[in-house]
Every structure is written in structure tokens, then in C-alpha cells.
């Protein structure tokens, strides 16, 4: 995948591996503008496109599984023909069944397989409503994942937090065996802070000066709560601006206009419902006073937006979902509020605005420390060390 945070995963890992003398083939469906984020003119990197013309990842579960079966088969064929030493699956979760079936077909191969779990689908929040068929589907994937790790078909699984690792060990009922196959590698971050001042960033992307600015960044999808944020924002009484930036398949410009008509205070809304060029992304975070993550209970795992906020030294106002609430609390990165409550979100925003200067100054060193602990070089180094460690124990 090249969407969202995925291309950054690939870029960080490729940059590190090539610097260590590895030869790398990046396999994806089709060319797109985000491919340019991979190291350009790197002699040790080759890019292969295995999709049909215009093919995109399918949304429906059955269609997606069949598509992944075909794509993984092509990927494994590339690995055989090279021949590769390592196959790294950058997002394994949800693809366990096609991976398992295709791997069974590849009984003779020279390569070892490693996977990354971005979203811990097996962890359910309190009072989270999950359909029985979804629970069954997740349980099947978890059972396949356990089997692949125990049988050595998957050499190691990288997860982003110790909590996810411990949860998997409990789910697998592992008592001292195989636990080393689940390895914590931080959700990678690349430092943004210091590239320019807040005022300079706002000037770069044409945002107003001298007014508090809150940022919602990323794809505006139902699970990320943009509608909840608009509901909370329209009853805000303070003078501030909300910037919503990113592609939207859920909130339209007409929804934005309808929200504006219901404003009860001096607040303003700037909606840039479009793809944000990668060379502008950092400016949005540097221009903000705080970043809002109003994600719903269905959201799992960590957040690329949270990592970007920390890398820019910005406080966050986040809902208590996935790994986000725990990370924000443990690292003092901002305010955590109840999920799926417009009132709680509004109160969190008000709390920040009432103590804005103090909170920005207090969070800054905490955010930079957390970003440094999650630096992409640490993420890539942990993965590469696992490759070498597994090789030495073969």
C-alpha cells in the first residue's frame, strides 16, 4: 500500500536497508505520485508493479481476499525469481488467510517472511459493538497468525507497542515459548520541529496569523470522526480556527457550509478537502496550535497523525481509542477525552484554548522526546536486527 502512513513505512525501511548494503525490491500494485517518496536514484532499490492497469485495493472483504491471494502469489514469484532472502509484508493484518494459503503453495523457497501489524484488530474497546461475523473473521485470522508464528512460516511479527505484544501473547496462551517472535518496533516518526516558525508555516500554506488554530489532518472517513468534530466545533464559544485537511469520502463541502451556518460563536472553519501534497504536510502541523484526533471506537492501533503531531512538537486533543489514549496519557502529549461524545470533545477543545500557551510550552519537550524515541531509524534498525538475528539462528 502507498496510501496514508504506509509509504512512509516503506521509505524509512528502504532508506535504512540500502544504507546497510541490502538490495531491495519494493512490490506494489501500480505507480502513483506517492512512489516519489521512496529514495530516488538509489542503486540498490528496484520497484515492481504487479497490478492490472488502474487496479486499486478492493473494499469488499471477499473481493479483497481474492485480490490479495493473486497479488501475494505474484509477490512470492518475484521473491523466487530474484531469489530473495527476506520477504517483508508491510501490513499483514486482515491478509492472514491469503498469506497462509499462498505460503502453503510455496513449499520450496529460500526466503524468510516477516510481517508488521499496524492495527491490532483483535483488541475490542469497552462497550464496542462488534458484529458476530466480524468477531469470527478476526478469530480465524488470529488463529492463522498464531499457527504461522509457531510453525516458523512467519519468522517474526513487528507491533508498535508493548501492550499489543502482551495482548497477543495472552491470546496465544504462550508460556515462555515463541514470545521472542513478537517484536516491538515503534510507529516511526520523522522530526518536523524546527524547520520553520509557526508564522512562517502559516504563510507557506496561506493560513491566518494571530488566531488559535486547530488541525484535523488525514482522510476524512467515518472511523476518524470528522462529523463528531464538526458537531463539537459548531457550539464552541472561543475565537479559533479549525482546519480540516485531507481527502474526503464522507464529509462534503455542502456539509461544511451547513455546519458554518450553525456556528454559535466567533469560530471559523477552513476545509481543504483534497489530497495534501507531501511537501506541504509538515507545514500544516507546524502551523497548528494543537492537533485534534476525534477518532471513533472502531479505530485500532497507533496513529500516523499522532506521530506527526509529536514530531512537530504540538499538543493533541484525542479520544481514548486504540493505543492513542494510552500513548497521550503516558507521554503527557495533550488532552484525552471520551470517544464518540461531541460534548466531551468540545470540553477538551475548550480546556486547551483556555490554557493554550501553557499547554503548548509544557507539551513541547514531551512531544519531542516521544518523537525521538519513535524515530524512524530506531524502527528500521529493530527490524533489520531481527533479520540478522534470525539468519544467525537458522
pLDDT tens digits for range 201-233: 999 999 999 999 999 998 888 889 999 999 999
Size of the chain, expressed as the number of residues it contains:
394
Query: What confidence category does residue 394 fall into, taking pLDDT thresholds of 50, 70 and 90?
Result: low
Give the β-pairing of 45-49 and 86-89: unpaired
Determine the average pLDDT of the residues in 322-335: 95
The region of weakest confidence among 31-35, 58-62, 299-303, 388-392 is 388-392
pLDDT at 145: 96
Q: Cell numbers of 310, please?
A: 509529536
6-188+375-392 and 198-373 have identical folds: yes
The region of weakest confidence among 17-31, 38-52, 253-267, 272-286 is 253-267
Q: Cell numbers of 68, please?
A: 490479495
Determine the average pLDDT of the residues in 245-252: 84
Instruction: For residue 317, count other CB atoms closer than 10 A to its CB.
Output: 26
Task: Tell which wins on pLDDT, 174 or 1.
Answer: 174
CA distance 117 to 96: 11
Answer yes or no: is pLDDT of 392 > 70.
Answer: no
Answer yes or no: is pLDDT of 312 > 70.
Answer: yes
**Segment holding 376, helix H or strand E:** helix 376-392
pLDDT at 251: 81
DSSP state of 153: S
Looking at the structure, give the CATH architecture of the domain made up of residues 6-188+375-392. 3-Layer(aba) Sandwich (3.40)
CATH of domain 198-373: 3.40.50.2000
pLDDT at 263: 82
Determine the average pLDDT of the residues in 322-349: 95
| Burial state string for 188-224 with b = 16 or more CB within 10 A and e = fewer than 16 | bbbbbbeebebeebbebbebeeeebbbbbbbebbeeb
Rounded to 5°, the CA angle 196-201-207 comes to 165
Answer yes or no: is pLDDT of 264 > 80.
Answer: no
| Residue whose C-alpha is closest to residue 172's, from 139, 211, 208 | 139
Answer yes or no: is pLDDT of 126 > 80.
Answer: no
Query: What confidence category does residue 266 fall into, taking pLDDT thresholds of 50, 70 and 90?
Result: confident
Which sequence spans correspond to the domains of the chain? 6-188+375-392, 198-373
Measure CA 262 to chain center: 33
Task: Tell which wins on pLDDT, 59 or 391.
Answer: 59
0.75 exceeded by pTM:
yes
CA distance 312 to 394: 42
pLDDT at 191: 95
Residue 241 and residue 267 in contact, taking contact as beta carbons nearer than 8 Å:
yes
| Residue whose C-alpha is closest to residue 324's, from 287, 343, 296 | 296
Answer yes or no: is pLDDT of 57 > 90.
Answer: no
CA distance 32 to 202: 28
pLDDT tens digits for range 179-208: 999 999 999 999 999 999 999 999 999 999
Question: What is the average pLDDT score of the chain?
Answer: 91
Residue 286 and residue 195 in contact, taking contact as beta carbons nearer than 8 Å:
yes
Place of cell 512531544: 367
Answer yes or no: is pLDDT of 393 > 60.
Answer: no
pLDDT tens digits for range 338-386: 999 999 999 999 999 999 999 999 999 999 999 999 999 999 999 999 9
DSSP string over 155-180? -EEEES-HHHHHHHHHHHT-SSSSGG
Q: What is the dihedral of CA 358, 364, 367, 369, to 10 degrees?
A: -130
pLDDT at 182: 96
pLDDT at 103: 86
Residue 37 and residue 6 in contact, taking contact as beta carbons nearer than 8 Å:
no
The region of weakest confidence among 55-59, 160-164, 263-267, 367-371 is 263-267
Instruction: For residue 94, count other CB atoms closer than 10 A to its CB.
Output: 19
Q: Is 49 helix (H, G, I), strand (E, B) or coil?
A: strand
Residue 64: phi and psi, rounded to 5, are: -65, -40
Determine the average pLDDT of the residues in 111-138: 88
Query: What confidence category does residue 319 fall into, taking pLDDT thresholds of 50, 70 and 90?
Result: very high
Amino acid at each position: 500500500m502507498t496510501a496514508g502512513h504506509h509509504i512512509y513505512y516503506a521509505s524509512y525501511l528502504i532508506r535504512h536497508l540500502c544504507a546497510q548494503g541490502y538490495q531491495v525490491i519494493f512490490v506494489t500494485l501500480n505507480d502513483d505520485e506517492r512512489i516519489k517518496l521512496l529514495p530516488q536514484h538509489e542503486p540498490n532499490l528496484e520497484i515492481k508493479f504487479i497490478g492490472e492497469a488502474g487496479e486499486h485495493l478492493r473494499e469488499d472483504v471477499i473481493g479483497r481476499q481474492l485480490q490479495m491471494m493473486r497479488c501475494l502469489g505474484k509477490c512470492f514469484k518475484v521473491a523466487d525469481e530474484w531469489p530473495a532472502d527476506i520477504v517483508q509484508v508491510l501490513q499483514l493484518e486482515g491478509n492472514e488467510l491469503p498469506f497462509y494459503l499462498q505460503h502453503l503453495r510455496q513449499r520450496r523457497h529460500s526466503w524468510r517472511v516477516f510481517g508488521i501489524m499496524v492495527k491490532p484488530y483483535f483488541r475490542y474497546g469497552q462497550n464496542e459493538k462488534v458484529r458476530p461475523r466480524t468477531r469470527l473473521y478476526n478469530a480465524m485470522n488470529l488463529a492463522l497468525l498464531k499457527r504461522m508464528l509457531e510453525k516458523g512460516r512467519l519468522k517474526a511479527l513487528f507491533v508498535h507497542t508493548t501492550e499489543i505484544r502482551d495482548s497477543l501473547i495472552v491470546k496465544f496462551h504462550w508460556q515462555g515459548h515463541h514470545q521472542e517472535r513478537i517484536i516491538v518496533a515503534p510507529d516511526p516518526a520523522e522530526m518536523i520541529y524546527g524547520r520553520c516558525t509557526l508564522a512562517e508555516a502559516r504563510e507557506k500554506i496561506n493560513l491566518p496569523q494571530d488566531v488559535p488554530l486547530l488541525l484535523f489532518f488525514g482522510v476524512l472517513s467515518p472511523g476518524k470522526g470528522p462529523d463528531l468534530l464538526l458537531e463539537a466545533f459548531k457550539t464552541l464559544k472561543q475565537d479559533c480556527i479549525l482546519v480540516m485537511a485531507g481527502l474526503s469520502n464522507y464529509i462534503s463541502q455542502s456539509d461544511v457550509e451547513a455546519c458554518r451556518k450553525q456556528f454559535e460563536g466567533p469560530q471559523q472553519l477552513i476545509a481543504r478537502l483534497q489530497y495534501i501534497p507531501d511537501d506541504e504536510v509538515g507545514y500544516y502541523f507546524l502551523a497548528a496550535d494543537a492537533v485534534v484526533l476525534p477518532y471513533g471506537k472502531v479505530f485500532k492501533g497507533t496513529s500516523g497523525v499522532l506521530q506527526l503531531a509529536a514530531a512537530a512538537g504540538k499538543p493533541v486533543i484525542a479520544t481514548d481509542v486504540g493505543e492513542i489514549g494510552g500513548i497521550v496519557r503516558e507521554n503527557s502529549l495533550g488532552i484525552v477525552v471520551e470517544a464518540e461524545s461531541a460534548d466531551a470533545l468540545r470540553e477538551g477543545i475548550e480546556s486547551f484554548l483556555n490554557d493554550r500557551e501553557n499547554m503548548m510550552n509544557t507539551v513541547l519537550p514531551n512531544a519531542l522526546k516521544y518523537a525521538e524515541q519513535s524515530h524512524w531509524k530506531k524502527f528500521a534498525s529493530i527490524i533489520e536486527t531481527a533479520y540478522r538475528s534470525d539468519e544467525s539462528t537458522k
